Structure 1
Amino acid sequence: MGEVIRRTKNGKFLGFYLRYYEAGRRKQIASKQPSAAEARRMLVQIEARIARGEAGIAEKPQPSPTLAVLIERFLGEYKRPRIKDLTRYRAFAGAALRRVLPMLGHKRADTLTTSEIGALRDALSETLSAGSVRATLAYLSSALSWAVRAGLLATNPCKGVERPESEPSLDFLSRAEVSALLAHTREHAGNAHPMIATALYTGLRKGELCGLRWRDLDLQSRRLTVARSYRTSPKSGKPRHLRLPDVLVPVLADWHERCPKTQEELVFPARLRDGSWGMQRDTSSVFGLPGLLRAAGCRVPAHPWHALRHTFASHFIMAGGNILTLQKILGHSDVKVTLIYAHLAPDFIAEEMNRLRF
C-alpha cells in the first residue's frame, strides 16, 4: 500500500511525494500536485495502473498540434456522406482556411479562445466581404468540431462567436433584358437558346441543367423531374417534380430533334476538349453566357447563371406567385432562403395587414 509524504526542508514546504511498490521494489517520486488530496488521487491512479500490469506512471499526453497542422489534417481526413464533391469541398475549404493561418496558424489549437476567434473575425472584416468572413468562420468551425470528435480538442472555440450579417445578393434581369436575351439567342445562338430558356422559365441551377437527362422530361404530360445536379443529388438532397411551362415545351421539342447524342442522354451536353459531347464538369464554366448577354445589350451580372435563377424567382413573385410555391419550385429546404424575394411581391405587406377585421 502506497503513501503520500509531505516533505519539508528547514521548515520550508517542498511538496507532496508518493511512495509505492512496483515489482517488489519501493519507489518514491515527487507528485508535483498542489494539495494532499490531488497527490492521493495521483497515487491511486498509479497503483491502479500497476494492478493492471501497466507502468506505474502514465505517459505524458502529447501536446496539441498547432492550428496550421490541425487544418492540414482536416483537409486530408475530413469527409461526410452529404458532401457530393469532396475534392471541390476541400479546395474551397482550403482557400477559406488559408485566411486564418497568418493570424492564428502558429497557435496551439487547444489554447485558442473565443475572443481570439472574434478578433480574427474583426481583422478579416476589414478587407473581406461579410459573406467571405462567414464562410471562413464556418469552415474553421467545421475543422475544430472535427478535431473535437477526433479527440484532439476538448471544445470548439468558434461556438458562440457572432458571425457578420450579409445582405443576400439579388441581381436579376429586367423583363426587357429577358426578352432581348431570348430573342438574341433564338436568332444567333440556337444551341444555347434551349438551356437559357429553361433556366429562365424553371429557375433550375446550372448544375441541375447540366445533369438533366431526356428521361427526366415528359413533353407530353409536361413533367420535369430534377433528379441530379451534375452527377450527384440536387442541393436539397432529394429530387423534385415540376410542371413544364407551356411556352417551354415547343422549345425543348425542337431541341430534342437537334440535340447532340450522348451516352447519358443529356438534355444540355457541352462540347468537351476532345471534341466530343458530354457533361461539363467544370463548375466555373459559364457556357459563353456573358458574351451572349453583352451581344443582346444586357448587363452582365457577377454570377450570370445564378442571375437567371434569380430572374425566374423575382418575376414569379412580381407576377403574384406564392412564396411557398416558389420554395418548392426552387428546391429550397428552408423557406427563409426563399423569403429574400418576398419584398418583390405586389402589395405583399398590404394584403397581409388587411387580414385583421375588428
Structure 2
Amino acid sequence: MSIKKTDSGWLVDAQPGGRGSKRFRKTFKTQAEAKAWEAWLKTQVTQNAKWQPEKRDTRKLSELIDLWYTHHGSGLKAGANTYSRLKLACAAMGNPVADRFTVNTFATYRTDRLAAGIAPNSVNREHAYLRSVFNELRRLGQWGRSNPLAELRQFKVQERELSYLTVDQIHDLLSELQGGKNRHAAMVARVCLATGARWSEAENLEARHIRNDQIQFAGTKSGKVRFIPVGPELTEQLKSHHLKTETGQRLFAPCYSAFRDAIERSDIQLQDGQLTHVLRHTFASHFMMNGGNILVLQRSLGHANLTMTMRYAHLAPDHLQEVVRLNPLSALTLG
C-alpha cells in the first residue's frame, strides 16, 4: 500500500489482499483521511474473504482426471475408455497446472487436433468429456472454481446422410452371409434387421434372453434393458441355431469380420465409417416407410430422447405431404 501527494490531493493506491488481489485507488483532501481509509482497507483482509486473493490450485490436470475416475468415472459403463481418452488429451496439452488450465488451453489443443485430420465429432467428444470432469468434480466438492470449458461452444457438425439397404440388397446380403464359412453371421444380421439392435447387442445374446417371442437386450449403450418382440418363426430359428452350436450359453460366436467380408462380396457400397450399423439404419428406415409410429421406433432403438429418432421421420409415407398440396405452384396448376 502507498499514500502519495498529488495535485488533486492524497492518493491511496492499495491492494489489501496482496499481490493478485483487487486494487483500490482513492484520493482524499487530507493525509489523515487517506491514512484512516488505508487502515480500514487493511482490516478487511482478515474480516472479509472476498478481499483476499484466490488461493492457487497447484494440482495437475491429470490429478483432477484421476479424481474424477476414482469417484465417478469408474462406475460408468464406458468409464475406462473415457478415462484413457482424457489422459491422452491431458498429455497432449502438456498436463497443465489445474488453475492454469483455461479455455484457451483447450481451444489451442482442439485446433491442433483438427489440423492433424481428427474429425470434429471426435474433438467435440473430448470437449464434452473434459467439461463433464469439471462439472462432476464441482458436484463432489473437489473443484471450487468455475468450469473453464462451460462457455466454449462445440463445433457444428454436418449431419451425415443416412443410408439403408433396399429389400433386394437385404436379400443379397443374407445370401452371402448364409453361404459364408461363419455360421453365426447370418443369424446375427437377422436379429439386427428384425429388432434394430446394434451388432454388439445381438452378437452378445444368450439363450436366456429369448423368451415368449421377445428378445431382451442387456448391456446396451444406454445401460438400459430393452425388450423387443419378434415373430415365433425367428424365435424358433434362434433356438434351433443354438442347439447346433457349441457356444455355451451364448447364442453366437464373434462374427463381425464375417459380416465385413460378406459386404465386400455382395458389392454393397456403404458410407465411410458405416458397416454393421447399416442394419440398424435399415430397420429404422423400413419401419418408418411402412407406416410405423415414431415413438414406438424410439423405444425400439433405445434412444434417450426423440431427437435422434427424428432423423428417420422424413421416411414416413405422409411426411410433409401438405407441401405438395399447399405450395403456390399447385394452385397455378389447378387454376
Give TM class, smaller chain: 0.7 to 0.9
Unaligned runs of 5+ in 2: 24-37, 327-335
User: What TM-score, normalized by structure 2, do the two folds share?
Assistant: 0.73
AA of the residue aligned to 1:245 = G
AA of the residue aligned to 1:88 = N
Query: CA offsets, 1:312-354, max 9 Å, x none?
Result: 1122222222211111111111111111112222331116998
Match of 1:267 among 251, 274, 277: 251
Q: How does 1:212-251 map to 2 (within 5 A)?
A: 212-218=205-211, 221-226=212-217, 228-229=218-219, 234-245=220-231, 248-251=234-237
AA of the residue aligned to 1:39 = K
Match of 2:94 among 91, 97, 105: 105
Match of 1:142 among 129, 132, 136: 132
Match of 1:328 among 279, 282, 299: 299
Match of 2:193 among 200, 224, 227: 200
Change (3 A) 1:236 1:157: same
Q: Which SS does the other structure have where 1:224 is aligned? A: strand
The equivalent residue for 1:174 is: 166
The equivalent residue for 1:299 is: 269
Figure out how many residues of one structure are paired with residues of the other and give that number: 300
CA positional deviation for 1:248: 2.4
> Do structure 1's residue 40 and structure 2's residue 10 form an aligned pair?
no
Point out the more displaced range, 315-324 or 250-259: 250-259
AA of the residue aligned to 2:125 = A
AA of the residue aligned to 1:297 = D
CA-atom RMSD in angstroms: 3.9
Change (3 A) 1:352 1:215: farther
Change (3 A) 1:217 1:168: farther
Query: CA offsets, 1:192-217, max 9 Å, x none?
Result: 22112111221112332233222221
The equivalent residue for 1:255 is: 241
The equivalent residue for 2:320 is: 349
The equivalent residue for 2:119 is: 129
The equivalent residue for 2:147 is: 156
Query: CA offsets, 1:97-119, max 9 Å, x none?
Result: 25xx54x4364432444455445
Aligned identity (percent) is 23
The equivalent residue for 1:24 is: none
Unaligned runs of 5+ in 1: 1-5, 19-29, 47-57, 271-284
Query: CA offsets, 1:140-190, max 9 Å, x none?
Result: 212333443443450112112111122444343333221111112223343
CA contact (8 A) 1:83 1:89 kept: no
AA of the residue aligned to 1:91 = S
Change (3 A) 1:257 1:351: farther
CA positional deviation for 1:129: 1.9
Change (3 A) 1:352 1:78: farther
Change (3 A) 1:246 1:320: farther
